[in-house]
Amino acid sequence: MVTYGVQKVEATHAEAVNLLRVQGSVSAPAADGRVSQETLFRLLGFESVESIDVYEAESPTHLLDLNRPVPAALHGRYDALYDGGTLEHCFSTAEALCNAVRLVKLGGRVMHHVPLNNWVDHGFYQFSPTLFFDFYAANGFDDLSMALHFMGRKRESYVAYDPRDGARLPYSFGGAHKTLVFFGARKAASLAEPVFPIQGRYRRAFGGEAQPQAPLGPLGRLRRSLAKRTYRLRARPL
């Protein structure tokens, strides 16, 4: 496992073990104190846990700037990469995403948990779901999945979302809630060079990739409109 940044885990060791037991992911005994990212990922079965950061303060394994290509010695080294809120702080989003592709081995997985809306000035950017689906699909990844993560004052919840099914989110998505995307994908093919995609909705509209669809009709349009406006209501608490 490699992480972008050194992740802070907002749980005690006992809380993490109990949650993983519910998921059937661990049978380890609980211990006292807060859990580190290394302990958490080892509980999940990873034998080695490394990290990449640009600053020495948190003692990362690799002191690197993700705005630049990572060294070739790290290419294809990892079974999984987890980005729990670093991508938005990288000025060169494209290079940071390309580095994720480079770092994981064939069959390895990439995970991003980053801001979608209502995180003004938290980082340089907030991200649309289509970025991840279009980029990783173009770069040889499959098993693409996403959950929308809502953060309220006293409640957090998730709901599955896939922009490929035609259900577009409103531009003001999230309302008063902080929202994030939690995206995952598996590397199914290794390409010689990273591919920079054109956004899928524009390829379909102007690039000849449009797929014929039956007219929705008034009732179908109403259902689609209601669906895209009720994601938060359908989200399940953590």
Model confidence over 39-71: pLDDT tens digits?
999 989 999 999 999 999 989 999 999 999 999
Over the chain, what is the mean pLDDT?
Answer: 89
- Starting at the edge strand that comes first in sequence, how are the strands of the sheet with 50-53 ordered? 62-63, 50-53, 2-4, 78-83, 104-117, 178-187, 141-151, 156-160, 236-237
Instruction: Give me the percent of the chain exceeding a pLDDT of 70.
Output: 88
- Report the candidate in 188, 211, 189 with the shortest Cα–Cα distance to residue 200: 211
Tell me which H or E stretch contains 232.
helix 231-234
Answer with the residue of higher pLDDT: 154 or 163: 163
**What amino acid occupies position 7?**
Q
Maximum distance among all Cα pairs of the chain, rounded to whole angstroms? 59
pLDDT score at 158: 93
Q: What is the DSSP letter of 72?
A: G
- Any idea of the CA torsion for 39, 179, 86, 34, to the nearest 10 degrees? -20
Lowest mean pLDDT among 52-66, 83-97, 159-173, 175-189: 159-173
* Token pair in block for residue 176: 């008063």
User: Domains (ranges, CATH) in the chain?
Assistant: 65-237 (3.40.50)
pTM above threshold 0.85:
yes
- Report the candidate in 132, 84, 77 with the shortest Cα–Cα distance to residue 105: 77
Per DSSP, which regions of 31-91 are E strands?
Answer: 50-53, 62-63, 78-83
pLDDT score at 22: 83
